[in-house]
Amino acid sequence: MLRSARFTSLIFCFALLVGLAAPASAEVALSGQIGTLGLQGQVSFPMGKHFAARLGASALPSWSISTDVADLNFDYSMALYTAGAFLDWHPMAGGFRITGGVILNNHDINADVTPAPDRDYKIGNTTYPGYAIGKLNSKADFNTLAPYLGVGYNGAFYAQDRLSFTCDVGVMFWGAPDITLSSSMSKIVPGLEQSLKQEEKEIEDNLSYLQYYPVASMGVSWAF
C-alpha cells in the first residue's frame, strides 16, 4: 500500500510538470535505451529551450548464476524494475543535459549459500560446523524511493531530423543495503539465530558503499 501511494505521488508530480510544459511546446520525444537499469523506455516533454520533463520505466529481468568459491556453493539471483520522473536542464539550449529526479524501484536480490558439512565457519562471534548451519539465504533490501543525479545527452528536440543519439550517466542514491540472513537450522541449533543477526550487521557495514547504484545507458530518441 505504501509503495502504491509513493508511485501515485510520483506520477502526480510528473503530470504537474507536463502540464506546465504544455503551453511552451506540443512536441514529445520517445526514447529507447539499454544500460545498467536494463531495458528502458522514456517519454520527454520540452519546457522551453532549456528544460524538459521526462518519465521513464525500465526492467532488468531476473537472472541467476551458480558458482563455487573455496568450499562454498553460491546461487545468486537478481531482478530490478524501476520507474522515474526527471527534470532535465539543457544549459546551452542543446543536447547536453543535467538531470535531477526520483526513481521508484522494485528489486529482488537473493543469494543462497550451501557450506561444506565437514568444515567450520565463523558466523558473528561463534564458530559452527557446516552441517549445523544448513542452507543459508541472504536477502538485500534497498530504499524503494531513490534520488537521482546525472548528466546526459539527447538532441532530439534540437536536431533537424528529430532523430538523435541519447545517453545518460549518473547515480541512484538508494541507500545502504538492509541484509537479512536466514538458515534452515536457525530454529534448531542454539545460538545460531543470534549469530546470524550479528553477521547481518557486519555484512551491512562492509557493503555500505553499495548505497550508490551507477546508472549508465545509451540508445536513440525521436521527437515528433
The 3-class SS string of the chain reads: CHHHHHHHHHHHHHHHHHHHHCCCCCCCEEEEEEECCEEEEEEEEEECCCEEEEEEEEEEEEEEEEEEECCEEEEEEEEEEEEEEEEEECCCCCCEEEEEEEEEEEEEEEEEEEECCCCEEEECCEEEEHHHHCCEEEEEECCCEEEEEEEEEECCCCCCCCEEEEEEEEEEECCCCEEEEEECCCCCCCCHHHHHHHHHHHHHHHCHHHHEEEEEEEEEEEEC
pLDDT at 160: 80
What b/e sequence results for 122-141 when a residue is b if at least 16 CB atoms lie within 10 Å of its CB, and e otherwise?
A: ebbeeebebebbbebebebe
In the predicted model, what is the mean pLDDT of residues 120-142? 92
Q: What percent of the chain has pLDDT over 70?
A: 86
Average model confidence (pLDDT) across the chain: 87
Q: Which residues contact 158 (CB under 8 A, 6 or more apart)?
A: 93, 94, 95, 164
Q: Which residues contact 53 (CB under 8 A, 6 or more apart)?
A: 14, 17, 18, 20, 21, 44, 45, 47, 85, 86, 87, 88
In the predicted model, what is the mean pLDDT of residues 86-94? 96
pLDDT at 114: 86
pLDDT band at 71 (very low <50, low <70, confident <90, very high): low
pLDDT at 116: 87
In the predicted model, what is the mean pLDDT of residues 34-42? 97
pLDDT band at 65 (very low <50, low <70, confident <90, very high): confident
**Which fold, 2-223?**
Porin (2.40.160)
Q: Where do the structural domains in the chain lie, given as residue ranges?
A: 2-223
